[in-house]
């Protein structure tokens, strides 16, 4: 896995408190964030991540996430396995789907 350069967009599955902390720290380092979360005012979006409001298994939202982000991660273990599996095949999801 290669290092990311500032300016890269990182995708987040889940926009809770951990995603908020990642967004705050990463934004200060020059990274951008796109968060897929079904809640419009999720904590990560309030911290500056661009919101993608949709269910975690929405096919169109997953395509946007994969196409828009250099790397994707999930912030919690309740992400559907099928979502992580799809992203593993269509984007850079370093932790993979097997952890779920």
Domain boundaries, the chain: 9-90
Q: Which residue has the tokens 């964030």?
A: 33
What fold characterizes domain 9-90? Rossmann fold (3.40.50)
- Tell me how crowded residue 1 is: count the other CB atoms within 10 A of its CB: 6
Where does the chain have alpha helices with state H?
17-28, 43-46, 59-68, 81-90
Rounded Cα distance, 57 and 67, in Å:
16
Rounded Cα distance, 76 and 14, in Å:
7
Whole-prediction pTM value? 0.94
pLDDT at 99 over 90: no
Classified as helix, coil or strand, 3 is coil
Note the pLDDT tens digit of each residue in 10-41. 999 999 999 999 999 999 999 999 999 999 99
């Amino acid at each position: 896995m290669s290092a990311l350069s500032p300016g890269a967009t990182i995708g987040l599955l889940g926009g809770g408190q951990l995603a908020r902390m990642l967004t705050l720290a990463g934004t200060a380092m020059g990274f951008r964030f796109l968060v897929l979360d079904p809640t419009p005012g999720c904590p990560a979006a309030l911290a500056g991540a661009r919101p993608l409001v949709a269910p975690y298994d929405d096919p169109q939202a997953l395509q946007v996430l994969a196409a828009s982000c250099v790397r994707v991660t999930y912030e919690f273990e309740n992400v559907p396995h099928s979502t992580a599996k799809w992203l593993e095949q269509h984007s850079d999801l370093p932790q993979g789907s097997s952890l779920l």
